């Protein structure tokens, strides 16, 4: 499975999760990023297995929120592969659960981390400030 994953390309579409939000942002004017207005996200292709540019470690570079399909395979094969990859990401040995306290700050590297917020904070107010840095172009196994 690892050898197969090393050869695959995934299509990621930010509109899947964020399309409505981007279209409504700033009274329909879109989102401003580096002086450009975005009302939608264009799909992009990345290797399924990404090599971290600093550590050289390999990781699955797919997630249920953005990855829509695997390129150049049938819809059924794509769904089956993504289901396997998503299940692998959420195995207990791959999950970190932070128990929040007042004043906590969490940071992670999106190049090798899949993040999800559990909706278990009840009536507590959750605040998230996101910053996205211009990064490197993802590359896979050579």
pLDDT at 26: 55
For residue 20, pLDDT beyond 70: no
- Residue boundaries of the structural domains of the chain: 1-142
Cα gap 92→90, rounded to integer Å: 6
Which helix (H) or strand (E) is 31 found in, with range?
strand 31-33
Span 110-133, mean pLDDT? 77
Distance from C-alpha of 21 to C-alpha of 27, rounded to nearest angstrom: 11
At 68 the pLDDT is 94
pLDDT of amino acid 17: 67
**Model's pTM, two decimal places?**
0.80
Whether 29 has a pLDDT exceeding 60, the answer reads yes
Task: Tell me if residue 125 falls in helix, strand or coil.
Answer: coil
Q: Which CATH architecture has domain 1-142?
A: 4-Layer Sandwich (3.60)
Mean pLDDT, residues 2-19: 87
pLDDT digit string, tens, across residues 51-105: 999 999 999 999 988 899 999 999 999 999 999 999 999 898 988 888 888 888 8
């Amino acid at each position: 499975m690892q050898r197969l994953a090393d050869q695959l390309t995934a299509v990621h579409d930010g509109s899947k999760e964020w399309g409505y939000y981007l279209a409504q942002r700033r009274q329909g004017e879109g989102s401003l990023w580096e002086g450009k207005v975005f009302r939608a996200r264009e799909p992009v292709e990345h290797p399924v297995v990404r090599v971290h540019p600093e550590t050289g470690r390999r990781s699955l570079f797919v997630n249920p929120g953005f990855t829509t399909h695997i390129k150049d395979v049938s819809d059924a094969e794509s769904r089956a592969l993504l289901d396997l990859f998503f299940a692998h990401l959420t195995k207990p040995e791959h999950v970190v659960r932070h128990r929040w306290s007042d004043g906590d700050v969490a940071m992670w590297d999106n190049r090798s981390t899949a993040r999800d917020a559990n909706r278990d904070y009840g009536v507590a107010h959750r605040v998230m400030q996101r910053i996205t840095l211009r990064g490197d172009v993802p590359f896979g196994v050579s």
